[in-house]
Structure formats: C-alpha cells, structure tokens
A and B are shown apart, each in its own frame.
Chain A
Amino acid sequence: MSADVQLDNVWVKFGDFVAVRDASLTIQGGEFFSFLGPSGCGKTTLLRAISGFQHPSTGRILIGGKDMFGIGPNRRPTALIFQNLALFPLMTVWQNISFALEVKGMDKRARRKKADELLELVALPGQGDKMVTELSGGQKQRVAVARALCAEPEVLLLDEPLSALDLKLRQHMRTELRAIQQRAGITFIYITHDQGEALTMSDRVAVMRQGVVDQIGDGTTVYDHPETAFVASFVGENNSFTGTVTEITDGLAYVQTECGLMRSRTSSAAPLRKGDDAVVFVRPESIHFCGDDTRRDENGLVATLAHQEFEGHFWHLALKTESGHDIRMSVMNDGRSEVHEIGASVSVGFSTQGAIALAPGELAAD
C-alpha cells in the first residue's frame, strides 16, 4: 500500500529562524520523490515534519488524504530511516528488523519468520543472528531499510541514508534502493545533497534552497530547464555570465554580458523582459571548439586555455577570457576533438539552445 503526501503551506520555524518556508507540494502514492539541496537548507527538518517529530509552525501535512495534525510519529503510516541509521546496537539483526512487530505484540516465531523474509528482500539471507555491530556499512544500510519496511509503512522516509558509504557501494545501493522501492510499491521520500543520487533514482526531484522549494520536476527537467539561478548552478555544473537583456524575440534573449552579446533560450516559467538584469547559464558540455568558422546562430568566445584535466571519457578544461572570466568546458575524449597546448588562444562557442537566461539570484556555493 502506498499513500500520497501533501504539504499545504508548511512553515517550520525555530524561534525567529525559518527552516522551511511555505512548502506546498504533492507527492504521488508510489512515487520515488527526492528533496535535493545543500547542507542546512531544511531537508531533514521537512522530513521530520512529515514523520511527526517536528510540528509545522503553520500549514497542514496530509498523508493518504488524512490530516496528520496531532498524530504522533508512532501512529503515522510512515517509517523514517535516519541519517545515521540508528540501529539498536544491543539487539541482533533480526530483533532490529522485527522491532515494529514486537511493538504490535506478535509472537516470536512469526516475528522471526517475517524478519527472515525481509532479510531475503534486502539480499542479506541468513544474517539474522548477527549483532548489528558485526555488519559492514552496506549491510547496516540494508538492515535499516528492512527494519523500516517491516513496519509496513505507506511512506518510507530516507534521510541521506547513503552518505556514510563509499562511492562504489553508494552507486550499488542506489540501484538496490530503487529496486526495493519498486518491489515494495510504496512511496519513497528521499533526502540528499548529492545530485547524482537524486537524478538517478527519483521520479521527481524538489530542489531546496534555504528552506524554500525552488523547483519540482523530473531529473531532465530540473537539469535542462532550470527555473531559477540557484537550480541552474546547484544541479550539475554551469558557467554563468551576468548581463542585461537588450532584446527578447521568439523566446530568445539577447543578453549583453562582459564577454559580449549572447543569445540564449529563456525559461517560460520565469520570463524576462527587455532591460532586466539576467544571468546566462551554459553547461560545460554545451561548449565546443569551433575553429575559425563561428556559425551565425551560435555564440562565440575567444579565451586562453589555462588548465586541463583528463578524466578518461572527458577532458575538463579551464579557460580564461580576455575580460578575465573563468569558463569551464568538457570535451568528449572521442579522438575527434582538437588538442591544444596550455596557454594557447582558442575560440569556443555554444548554441542558443545550449544556454539559458534566467533572472539573477543566489547561486550555489562551489
């Protein structure tokens, strides 16, 4: 069973400090939904509000259409996986997993059976009698998932559960979690500051900034069609050029920047007008070498190659324009790209579709 989760104008304040500001959104039943944002932006606070550990200062939270006001965490159809897992160190693995059933007063044999089934589900068969301290990080992770699933929640809440794992294991657990979610068929609300995690696993992502939900959409929407400067700079890498809009025609913006006039697409959700300040965002992979023949629909720049890094399938290049602006660019290592010496003057370009002009705003810290 899965339930939808609806937030209506939820605010969470700690004294004068606003941790969550006016969050309104609906998470569908059975959806894998992620909150993505930098550290301290209020993700955990929002999750704690959904699970019932934190009262919203104002606003309503509905789970399965039912207002959760005044319902404690032990009586909500949610289960929370904590940032540090919070397994019970003095219990065995199977006792940990079946704790929710022990609470319901189920007898020991049935509990053990259910725990073994869940161990099977999270690919840890036969490990029930170990103590949790005897498990590896990834195994603890799975036990935490099993323990939460055992409560048969309609909504599973996960607070950066993979952050303590090393890269390889993290990537493996992503697929694993996604598979478990599909098998269990329940709503997953996942919190992370790792965009790779959010983009690969989720049906939809909500990008948060200082307590505000900036944009909600699936991975490609958030990546390709950012609506705020923060989303553009936080999700994936982006070059930014600040300037002023000189003209808007056919949904294209002409922006006069310190690196010359640029033409780019705009966001329909955040339209710009002539004379507005604007920031043009260009992804490193949208920039390419263009020799001498800059095509007419493209934007061209001349810069010096300052630094380059080889990363197997990509070259990461750092350029500096005459005006002193740093530009990052990625070139596919397919043997067809030009090779340049450090210090060489190169001319690069990007298409109008490879750039987007947005209203200026807070940028994510690098």
Chain B
Amino acid sequence: MELGIFDVREWQTMVNLSTGRKVEYDSPMVRLVKKVMAQHPYPGDFEMMGNQWVTDLALELVRNYDPGFVFLSYSQPYFAIRFNPMAPEKWQALVDNALTEAQRFIEESGFIPIIVGSGDMIPVEGYMDVSGLDGLAVCSPWSAHYEGVFHPSERDLEYVKSLSGLQRLVYREEFIRELGGKPSDKDRVPDWVLVAREGFTFKGMQSSLRPLARIPAHNQFIPVYSKLGPIKTITDVSPLIEENLKTHKVALIMVEGIGVKDFTLPFTPVVNGFSWYTYEPGESQFLALTTGQHQFFNYPPGLQYWPDDNENKPYPFSGYFNHLDENALGFRYNGRSIAVGNRSMLMHATSGADIALECFARNLYNHGTMAAILREKEFKEVSRSLL
C-alpha cells in the first residue's frame, strides 16, 4: 500500500495515498519519516529558509535510510520571484542561497549531482484577457505561456488573432501531430492551444489570482551541471542517471526559477522542449526529467482537471495527478530512493521515490509537510537520534 503522512505541526496523520482513507500502520520506514517530519516544520514557500529545509531533510534521510538515488527540488527562488518584485541584489541572494544549499547537500552526502535550472524568469510585459471568449478558455495551473480554448466560435477566432501578445494559435490536430501524440490524446487536448509571445501571459479561468511579477521566459535551453556525460536535451537526463546508478549514488537536483542567465555553476545549455514547445516550471518539466519521455499529453495546456475530480478520484491528496508515472526514475531503480523538495505534489507525483518528503502548500499557503511512502524497502536502522 502507498502511504501518505501529513504533519501539520504538533499533529500527524496517515492515509492510504491512492484512496485518501485513514490507515493505521507502523514500520521502521514510517517511524523514521514521522520523526524527520516532526523535527522539521516547513518555513513557507517564500522563505529562504525553505532551501535549507530541503538540504536538512535530505541529509537526514541519507544518513538514516542510505538511498542510492536522490531527487531534490529547491523551488523557493521560483515562488519568490514569480510573485514579488525584487531588486537584482535580492534576487542574486536567492539564487546564491539555493545553489549553496544544493552544494551543501552534495558535499555532505558525497552524491554525484546533476543540477538542473528550470529556466529564466522575465518581467510580465502584458496580459491577454480571454475571459470574454464564447468558448471556454482554461489556463493550466501555473502556466503562463499556454491557454487552452474549448468549443471556440468564429468570433473568438477574430478576437484571438487581434491579440498583440499572441505568438501562435495551434489547432488540436496540429498539436497532436507536431508533438508526436496518438489519436486518443485528442480527448485531453483543447480545440485550440494559444501560445503567448515571450513576456506575455493569459488571463482566464484558473489564471493566477495573485498579481504576477515575473513569468518564465520561453526557455529553449536550460542550464545543466553534470560530470556524468553528455546531455543534449531534457529527456537525456533520466537514462543517463539510470545508467550511472548501477555504479554510483546519484542526485538529480532541480533549482527552480534559475536559467542560463543566472546559473553560477559551470553548465551545458540543454534543450528544454521539442519543436516550438518549451517547458515551463511544473509537472511536465519534472516528468520529462524523471521519466526521460516528453510530456505534452498527460497534462496538456488548458487541462480541465475537474471532470474527473469526483468522489472516487484516485490520489485525492495529489491535486490533479490521478496516477503516479511508473516511468519515473524511482520506479525503474531497484535500490533505495528518496525525493525531497519545497515543491508540493510534484516530489511524490513525479519522482517515483520510495520516500518523498515535500511541503504541503496549496496556493502558497503553508499547511505543513507531506510524505509519501510508495514502497517499503529494507534499510539498516541507525540507532543514534536525529539532528
């Protein structure tokens, strides 16, 4: 059974992750995870201490669980700069802090790292309001570049074409053909996918209620620091790690909000997408990294999550995820694996790790922490107390 454990400060509870139902269960892994959670409350998405929290938790699990594969995400810079206008010095401090924490993990754990920046963030130049269309315009959660339109009218076509911030309108069939989809993908793809010009974003259903300061650039390349071997495109990362896990302990480390402009470690620019499509920070980029497969159709632009969001939706604590992708590295690797990050949902939903520890934040509100234990593996219990 896959377990979900929640810590809301001074109180913990446990559920069957796939059904959401309460369960009572005890094991060395559960005890370890509960203890680590109790001792490390989450500082909050905007707090710089959130990066230290990631390193502290990851090191704690490395010392006590001894994994071979680690997946980390330092996401605080992304949250901070997306919603808060900030001076260059302040931003530099956030970048330095996140990369320093990533390096602290590497130095103290001895893991061989692949460090990936999710891409540059740029100021918002303008908004395109698509709320008045006859069709239904839907923005995927947190997407800035893409908007899906369902059942558009002739009048909508005229309006959309008049938008100065629009880069292109992609019809469903084109989207599927150009990005290598199957005919069955048409059920998940909107009639139109609207692509914003760089710097522009959409206003429509599910677009951000909080005013935005910066949005992702159209990052055709993202920075990757690695000594493991050549990486040309984002989907090369996963097979390269899998190969090296046979002989090494490897850490895949995502640093969100940071692109080629700000990345201060030596890096290779790596292709971040396919054809005209570039990944934004989020589930598809994470999954492309962890599965080694492009992710255009599982969570496409304009995804309507709500038709399936009924009482029986699997993984009710995992947002719009209704399954865990079995191509993720944690599923493919037989050794012990962990994921830790201040990126809620994505750590457990995209890593496949034995243990995933993440903040439980929704819309940037700090509700505590969540752990997912996807499978039990043997490990040597360390008798000494935790930090």
Task: Tell whether A pairs with B.
Answer: no
List B residues at the A interface (Cβ < 8 Å).
none
List A residues at the B interface (Cβ < 8 Å).
none
